[in-house]
A and B are shown apart, each in its own frame.
Chain A
Amino acid sequence: MFDFIFFVFAFVCVGSALFVAFTPNVVHAALGLASTFATLAGFYILLGADFLAITQIAIYVGGILVLMLFGIMYTHNIARVSGEQVMMQVGPALLVVVLTLFTLVATILSTAWPAKEVGPPQPTADRIGVLLLTDYLLPFEVAGILLLVALVGAVVIAQTPVRKSIEESID
């Protein structure tokens, strides 16, 4: 059953990622990305990472993807609503990517991974919480400051032209 679910997830995940890579429409690509993120959350559940699966859904599908859709809608020219995009350098890119993938897969298959017997998955949220407030307290605080800086920075960068136009209208 585990194997069957894994292969279903793997098929959907890689298929929707390929769809993102080859669809000409940016909005369709964003929706394909939602499917990829959701199946990745399924992988996390298969790997016993329940807290991270919820985090994946909440942050990637609920946050980053919505942000991207807003970005697409804000930057869409009314004149070309379809948002068709050309692909460049497909040949060289395929060469590089296939070589990289071949190297990675050959390395993965030729390495003797430790065959450890894994037990049934345990709940992880409490243990992650304890780790974040003991061993990883400093990175946790730094991440909080980073998020604050990113939030303020994003607002400042994105609002400049609006402020200019308001000042002009006041003048």
Chain B
Amino acid sequence: MVGLPHFLIVSAILFSIGVFIMITRRHGIMMLMGLELILNAANLNLIAFSRYVETGIRGQTFAIFVIILAAAEAAIALAIILSIYTHSAKINLDELTSMKE
């Protein structure tokens, strides 16, 4: 019988993979993908708890705010990455050594 712990374990695995991507990759957009995985793992947790523990809808409402923040953060981060790329033609964040041109 699938219950709350199963969803929590899937969420924990997704979170770990997201952390792994953020540590091992130096490509700006790949790091962003790892971040999205982490946020999605948090969302799955919120919704699983709102189904099995709280049995209401507040967890889902909170997850909507997480999605809103993820959208805003993705737009800003991609704009920054594009701006860095047009300035210095670098996409690997390790190669960025100065804050100005």
Contacts and interface: CB of A to CB of B under 8 A. Distances in A.
Interface residues on A, range: 35 or more
Interface string A62-74: 0110011011101
A18 B13 CA distance: 10
Contacts, number: 217
Contacts of B50: 47, 49
Contacts of B3: 113, 115
Contact of B60 (A49, A74, A108): A49
B20 A93 contact: yes
Interface residues on B, range: 35 or more
Given A87-B25, A113-B53, A146-B68, A160 B83 contact: yes
A170 interface: no
Interface in B63-91: 63-65, 67-76, 78-83, 85-87, 89, 91
Most chain B beta carbons < 10 A, residue from A56, A68, A90, A98: A68
A136 B44 CA distance: 21
Interface in A81-122: 85-90, 92-94, 96-98, 100-101, 104-105, 108-109, 113-116, 118-119
